[in-house]
Structure 1
């Protein structure tokens, strides 16, 4: 029976790997990658934000939910943000659903990716049956009313849902909710990549991570030497590393300055075109890799940032038309909480031992990630970006704080 189950899982993975996206899903996948850079740059401008972690395909799905619940300009603004003004409504929803279903298929991709979405509405609002049905079908949303008269207990209930839906990996999404009279979108995710070639569990030790020159933390780092895509950008003083994940449908691209510095300089260079240029210059070669073995937990309220990208009506109480949600024009979007936990661990496929002791691993380049860097989980099959972020301040024991 066990053997049969394994065979069936392999067959399912093969079918998924060979299946191609529909034309409208492919367009939306490509456009969501543009959204990734626009949203990242918007977040990076905020001086009080340190770590960044967003899933552009999940944000695109949340925007799809707004379009599903909206009418007139409230809905059309979503298409503008997604560069999908010529895509029909049904194709928008089915395409975003198809994209997210494809990239989050844990069986085919051998990753752990838990995605939970929840739409909270004020206790005075009732959800329309058609909206409930369509939002579950296309976006797998849960729905509930919430009463903020007892704000502390309401926030506690929200955080308990987030923790439960991520198996405790995200203990909370927010400590407070300022605007309590509108609809609230919450994305709660846990993502754990499985490497194409695992790190050996014994090749882990405590090292120093330089948050900046006068502040360091102690954390575990994992080490391995293997064949990876690598580019040394001597013009911009950057190292780039491309590490494939299991099944090789996606990979994590790391972008790191030579030395500890604010990432502002690097972020000014960061565009989709520049990323493609860097990737085109990568060579497969031996690289000695050292990465933090950590969990990164980040929660962003994206309402302000989506507004700056063009979602101005849904968030405006006077202009919003979300009447498909409730049957009445009595609702606006007050919060978009986007929370993710990403865990980097040693787990992955067995290494290719045939190259051990050969010239292929001689004179490796060094990628020692002991200071802030940018990273992207790039999907090769759909040309989308599953996650984009930066690690500036990982969890660890404080070691030094000097003037």
Structure 2
């Protein structure tokens, strides 16, 4: 495989492993790619056992040139006229550490990132406020804050990665068809929420043995970006899906070649998820332990001092409305007179479901989410 394909494979394996270990009763969306990009940035500085653990957990062992691969991938997926995708990774380092000039230069070349120096030791609150303001400026106000309990006087290095997507559906959901309808939670409790509705030709698949259905919702005219909604047949089937998730399963479920193009009536809840997710404990469970240890971490390419990661936080905002992932007034309606036809099948996401967003040119999974309640 090429270096780019190696990085994409590493990302998609990492996505499935994170999905399996995610534990939350809330709605959550994460960008495995932005997490992996941030960890690859840290990997620039890792040596010895720290580097070996990271490469094993992140599936970098077979990558001949990790950092060139990430540079190529990020350039490929973020340069589009049909959508806006911003992925950013920043290291916030305690000011008492002397950072290597070589690391600063190399991180800029491959990841367009520069370490930020903050005063965790004597002013943790001020450091938190600095990071919040940095994020606001970097993301045009998309990310307003992150948990202040991630920072204290002992914090040495915080890794924050952000992902933001703005895109319009290929077939927008007519706002006049959005109605207040019932949504059944996994506890069998019924609530009411706004369900959007559209009729059109979509790739769809029903897997009776696994009691789930998958629909493909493309973005833009080129359809290079696509959301896959994985819906269990029953209101409480989400746990079974989560338990069975693997790289092979995700690849199979979202394989367009195994879908049928049918005229479908699609119901999808309007949702907006602001997610702040720490993956420190998950990475420890996966075997990446030394980089978080004050006595075992070897990040000597950043600093010769005893530097270790205090936390890794992924910030993602995801919105699904009638036009797409962010409210827009210029989405083109492609329905025409299709509404005169009777749907061959109905796909109604009125109970918990999983969704992924994938770039079809690189085959890279960009986002993974779990919608459990309105």
2:1 corresponds to 1:54: no
Q: Report the Cα offset of residue 355 of structure 1.
A: 5.8
Q: Is the 8 A contact 2:199 2:338 kept in 1?
A: no
Residue of structure 1 equivalent to 2:2: 23
Question: Among 243, 258, 273, which residue is 1:296 paired with?
Answer: 273
- Indicate the larger mover: 93-102 or 334-343: 93-102
- Counterpart of 2:308? 332
| Partner-residue secondary structure (3-state), 1:79 | helix
Deviation at 1:383, TM superposition (A): 1.6
- Native 8 Å contact 1:212 1:371 kept in 2: yes
1:124 and 1:167, CA in 2 relative to 1: closer, same or farther beyond 3 A?
same
For normalisation by structure 1, the TM-score amounts to 0.83
Q: Which residue of 2 aligns with 1:5?
A: none
Deviation at 1:59, TM superposition (A): 1.7
Question: 1:256-292 CA distances to partner (integer Å, 9 max, x unpaired)?
Answer: 1123216211112222322333334321101111112
Contact 1:166–1:189 (CA under 8 A) maintained in structure 2:
no
Residue 60 of structure 2 corresponds to 84
Task: Please name the residue that 2:297 is paired with.
Answer: 320
Answer yes or no: is 1:346 the counterpart of 2:322. yes
Please give the secondary structure, in 1, of the residue aligned with 2:363: coil
2:373 is aligned with 1:393:
yes
What is residue 46 of structure 2 aligned with on the other side? 70
Contiguous gaps of at least 5 residues in structure 2: 325-330
Counterpart of 1:311 in 2: which secondary structure? coil
Corresponding residue for residue 197 of structure 2: 223
User: Is residue 171 of structure 1 aligned with residue 144 of structure 2?
Assistant: yes
Aligned to 1:241: 215
Select 1:211's aligned residue among 185, 198, 201: 185
Query: In angstroms, what is the RMSD of aligned CA positions?
Result: 2.2
1:136 to 87, 108, 114: 108
Determine if contact 1:322/1:332 at 8 Å carries over to the other structure. Answer: yes
CA distance in 1, matches of 2:11, 2:251: 15
Query: What corresponds to 1:368 in structure 2?
Result: 348
> What SS class does the counterpart of residue 362 from structure 1 fall into?
coil
Supply the distance in 2 between the matched residues of 1:210 and 1:42 (Cα, whole angstroms). Answer: 24
Pairing 1:202–2:176 present: yes
CA distance in 2, matches of 1:60, 1:68: 12
- Does the aligned pair in 1 maintain the 2:198–2:266 contact within 8 Å? yes
Q: 2:242 aligns with which of 267, 280, 283?
A: 267
Q: Would you say how many aligned residue pairs link Structure 1 and Structure 2?
A: 363
Give the gaps of 5 or more residues in structure 1: 1-21, 395-403
After superposition, the Cα gap between the structure-2 partners of 1:139 and 1:241, relative to the gap in structure 1 and judged at 3 Å, is same
Which segment is superposed worse, 237-246 or 330-339?
A: 237-246
Q: Distance in 2 between matches of 1:335 and 1:125?
A: 17
Provide the secondary structure at the position in 1 that maps to 2:291: coil
Could you give the per-residue CA deviations for residues 329-378 of structure 1, whole angstroms, max 9, x where no partner exists?
A: 420011101010011122265344466266xx423311122221000112
How far apart are residue 381 of structure 1 and its match? Answer: 1.1
**Partner SS state of residue 165, structure 2:** strand
Change (3 A) 1:266 1:200: same
Say which SS state the counterpart of residue 145 (structure 2) adopts: coil
Q: CA deviation at 1:93?
A: 0.6
Aligned to 1:181: 155
Counterpart-to-counterpart distance in 1, 2:61 and 2:338: 53
* Equivalent residue in structure 1 for 2:92, among 120, 123, 126: 120
Structure with greater helix share of residues? 1
Q: Give distance in 1, aligned partners of 2:174 and 2:345.
A: 19
